[in-house]
């Protein structure tokens, strides 16, 4: 298990400001890291988290970009500090992403960086609003190869259930990454866990922030593959070489569907690749952004 490096403490010491925007009767929370210069306000980065995650997953990543970008991360509803809904859909999440971009005053030259479940929501968003964003960086997510879809359908996902723990410490100790994987950087997992629990006064216990009924209340409109083909802006994919969720075969399939797609593989990384290899992830994103700026 690795020791906590100094860069991590320096990153999380840069505290973002929290804001809310209402989308169809629900408050959507977002975090904003103060831009280091007026020039940085001309370019934006909007980070979108994965399933049952939240904006604080980006606390140790976002500060590396604030010198050149206005940097924001949001909590999709049903997760983090945003409200829960009676029903969820990729169209609702697209509206939330657009609303946060507007409320945070992100410029048109904004790039979406989206992990896992959030990547699928980002694809829907960009397909519907290609004029709003400059580019899309997908993180271990996207359109799976048909054979990978078959393998995925054979797997049984565990549904989250409401659980309450008597103390914050016990809840923290029970935190696990989903999908399950080992992560050598326990200091990152601990930081995420600390921001994943809240006290429920009715139950007199600590619980996870996400809506345990989200999966059963979620619907997907349209076709992910059709949306991906119609995004109409520069796109990139970063995936973990050891990921069980998104494999090289699917990365190749996405390249076939869009020959202009930039594809980067991060060695010694699984699905939660920016937890496994945070510095390699930061450098990969910077390389993609630099390439788009140069062109």
> H/E element holding 286?
helix 278-294
* Tens of pLDDT, residue by residue, the chain (295 residues): 568 999 999 999 999 999 999 999 999 999 999 988 888 789 999 999 999 999 999 999 999 999 999 999 999 999 999 999 999 999 999 999 999 999 999 999 899 999 999 999 999 999 999 999 999 999 999 999 999 886 655 454 444 555 899 999 999 999 999 999 999 999 999 999 999 999 988 888 999 999 999 999 999 999 999 999 989 999 999 999 999 999 999 999 999 999 999 999 999 999 999 999 999 999 999 999 999 988 7
Q: What is the maximum span of the chain, computed from C-alpha positions, in angstroms?
A: 56
Residue 87 is encoded by which pair of tokens? 């029903």
State the Rg of the chain over Cα: 18
Q: In angstroms, how far is the first alpha carbon of the chain from the final one? A: 41
pLDDT of residue 25: 98
Nearest CA among 259, 260, 223, 205 for reference residue 124: 223
CB 286 within 8 A of CB 280: no
CB 57 within 8 A of CB 129: no
pLDDT of residue 174: 92
- Compute CA distances 172 → 112, 121, 167, 176, whole Å: 30, 28, 9, 9
pTM passes above 0.85: yes
Domain residue limits, the chain? 17-294
Q: Strand, helix or coil at 189?
A: helix
Quote the CA–CA distance of 262 and 252 in Å, as a whole number: 11
What CATH number does the domain located at 17-294 have? 3.40.50.1820
């Amino acid at each position: 298990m690795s020791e906590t490096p100094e860069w991590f403490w320096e990153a999380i010491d840069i505290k973002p400001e929290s804001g809310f925007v209402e989308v169809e009767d629900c408050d959507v929370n977002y975090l904003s890291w103060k831009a280091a210069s007026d020039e940085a306000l001309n370019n934006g980065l909007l980070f979108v988290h994965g399933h049952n995650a939240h904006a604080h997953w980006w606390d140790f990543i976002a500060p590396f970009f604030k010198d050149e970008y206005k940097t924001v991360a949001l909590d999709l509803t049903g997760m983090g500090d945003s409200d829960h809904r009676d029903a969820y859909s990729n169209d609702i999440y697209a509206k939330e992403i657009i609303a946060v971009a507007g409320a945070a005053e992100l410029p048109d030259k904004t790039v979406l960086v989206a992990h896992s479940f959030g990547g699928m929501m980002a694809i829907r968003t960009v397909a519907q609003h290609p004029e709003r964003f400059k580019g899309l960086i997908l993180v271990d997510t996207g359109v799976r190869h048909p054979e990978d879809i078959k393998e995925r359908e054979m797997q049984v996902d565990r549904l989250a259930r409401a659980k309450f723990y008597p103390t914050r410490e016990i809840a923290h100790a029970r935190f696990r990454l989903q999908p399950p994987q080992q992560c050598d950087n326990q200091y990152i997992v601990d930081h995420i866990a600390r921001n994943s629990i809240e006290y429920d006064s009715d139950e007199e216990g600590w619980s996870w922030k996400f809506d345990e009924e989200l999966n059963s209340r979620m619907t997907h409109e349209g076709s992910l593959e059709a949306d991906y083909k119609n995004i109409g802006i520069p796109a990139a994919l970063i995936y973990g070489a050891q990921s069980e969720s998104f494999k090289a075969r699917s990365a190749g399939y996405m390249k076939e569907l869009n020959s202009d797609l930039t594809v980067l593989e991060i060695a010694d990384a699984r699905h939660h690749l920016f937890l496994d290899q945070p510095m390699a992830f930061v450098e990969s994103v910077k390389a993609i952004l630099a390439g788009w700026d140069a062109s």
